[in-house]
Amino acid sequence: MQLYRLTATSLLFVTSLIAGATLSVGNGSAAPGRTVSLPVSLSSAGTQVAAIQWQLNYSTQDFSNISVSLGSSGSSAAKSVQCASSSAGQYSCMLSGPNQNVIGDGTVATVTMTVSNSATNSSSPVSLTALGSAPESWFLSVGATGGLVTIPQSTSLSGLTCAPATMASAGSASCTVSLTASAPSGGSVVSLGQGGAGVTLSMPSSVTVPAGATQATFTIQAPAISTNSTVTLFATLNGVTKNFAVTIVPKSLSSLSITPANATIVNGATQQFTAKGTYSDGSTADLTTTVTWSSSNTAVATISSAGLATGVGAGQTTVKAASGSINGSTPLTVVISTFTLGNTTTGTTAGSNDANHISASRFTMPQGRSGAVTSLSVYVAAPVSASPRNLFQVAIYSDNGGKPGTLLASSSSQALTPNSWNTANLSVALQAGVNYWLAYNTNATDKTSNNMRLTPGGSTVSISQTFGSWPAKITKIPHTSNQSGSIYATVQ
């Protein structure tokens, strides 16, 4: 079969011949990668057509393959169709057979075209030129009408990103999948995956882009790691896959802060310190129990492994917390705070017969406070004997089953002032929560002089003892009364 190229000269010649028939290509629709069949139809308009030659013109960007098969009208007329590609984007066909057989109206051939996977247009035209011949072999002018192929573009992925791209150990990032077009009704489900050397992120297996939207986000969570790691994320939709690499780095401790700052406590008191660590990713954590605590001056304060400092002497020390090469510090000041143990009120009545007697009252050190006694004071009522019988001494005894026990400390002799607090120095360490006896003795001339005042309530004992000496241990059975002497110790 000879295929003739349709030129302007031949068409000009044909227009002077018998005319009226029309050849048309139908319309169709196919998505990228799919095929579409377009009917080639003849409308003779009363013209007898024995053979037809036509040329299809199409976009090679939108279509990757083309073929033509015989249609029912051509087959009924015992015709056959032969086609060849004349050049890129052009496809020429000849429908011919016995010349006496006239081709009836209807589908003379079917064009099958494959839409390219890379097609991005939403539609693509297929144009047509045609030439026919009559049974007598006259040339016929045949009108031509092209067709249109609609190309529905399926939604696919255009991108996958995560921020931040570099994550801290145990940190998180927000990732976004983007589509080439708005998601259809029901949304687009994007499959997610990951790959990396021994590191697994916590992330969903898919994310849905809502109908009408072009993006959706999801969160990834990194595990705790000790070395730098890289994980590649994958997102897939309709055969299109995008990937994005995230890097995970171990977070490092940047600084340590200690609270409270610049604290002041009294001697014997405690202060709990807290260490807060700040990491390279900006996160913080309580590191109180994991840092190493120290005090620069343990004569002022000591500190436990849990950050509990105890004041042991007046002055200032630096409390330090360290974790590897990172440390933090704050000053701690310890001051001496005095308190009293005993009865600081002036008794309502004066005792009797304190001369050459140990008059002792029992008192209990407060819980949580120990300290050292610096002096003992006693309120003595008038009259006071004339010198040299106007002297007094004080002492402190331990408790032995509710009675004075062992001598702990005693003072030297001091002169008395009547109706006044009289103080003598002595030194002894007392323990918190322990009972002690504060004792008084005098060298008065008679039992009505140099007597300590008393307050109702408490426990006071009287034991005969020559003034000027204190027994190392009380063995005598004392006389007891439910009163408290006006006597107290100053403790710091």
Determine which helix (DSSP H) or strand (DSSP E) holds 11, and give its type and residue range: helix 8-14
Output the CATH code of domain 253-335. 2.60.40.1080
Output the CATH code of domain 8-150. 2.60.40.680
For 183, which DSSP code? -
For 402, which DSSP code? S
**Domain with residues 157-249, CATH architecture:** Sandwich (2.60)
Intervals of CATH 2.60.120 along the chain: 339-491
Residue 426, token pair as written in the block: 């002595």
- On whether the CB atoms of residues 359 and 351 are closer than 8 A, the answer is yes
The pLDDT of residue 2 is: 42
CA distances to 48, 264, 304, 319 from 271, rounded to whole Å, are 114, 9, 11, 11
Distance CA 24, CA 372 (A): 118
Of 377, 274, 398, the C-alpha closest to 328 is 274
Question: How does pLDDT run along the chain (492 residues), one tens digit per residue?
Answer: 343 444 433 433 333 344 589 999 999 999 888 999 999 999 999 999 999 999 999 999 999 999 999 999 999 999 999 999 989 999 999 999 999 999 999 999 999 999 998 888 889 999 999 999 999 988 999 999 999 999 987 788 999 999 999 988 888 999 999 998 888 888 999 999 999 777 899 999 999 999 999 999 999 999 988 888 999 999 999 889 999 999 998 888 899 999 999 999 988 889 999 999 998 878 899 999 999 999 999 999 999 999 999 999 889 999 999 999 999 999 999 988 889 999 999 999 999 999 999 999 999 999 988 889 999 999 999 999 999 999 999 999 999 999 999 999 999 999 999 999 999 999 999 999 999 999 999 999 999 999 999 999 999 999 999 999 999 999 998 899 999 999 999 998
Intervals of CATH 2.60.40.2310 along the chain: 157-249
Domain 339-491 in CATH 1.20.5:
no
Determine which helix (DSSP H) or strand (DSSP E) holds 429, and give its type and residue range: strand 420-430
The pLDDT of residue 6 is: 40
The pLDDT of residue 181 is: 85
Of 209, 197, 263, the C-alpha closest to 235 is 209
Task: Read off φ and ψ for residue 9, nearest 5 degrees.
Answer: -65, -45
Intervals of CATH 2.60.40.680 along the chain: 8-150
Intervals of CATH 2.60.40.1080 along the chain: 253-335
Question: For the whole model, what pTM was predicted?
Answer: 0.41
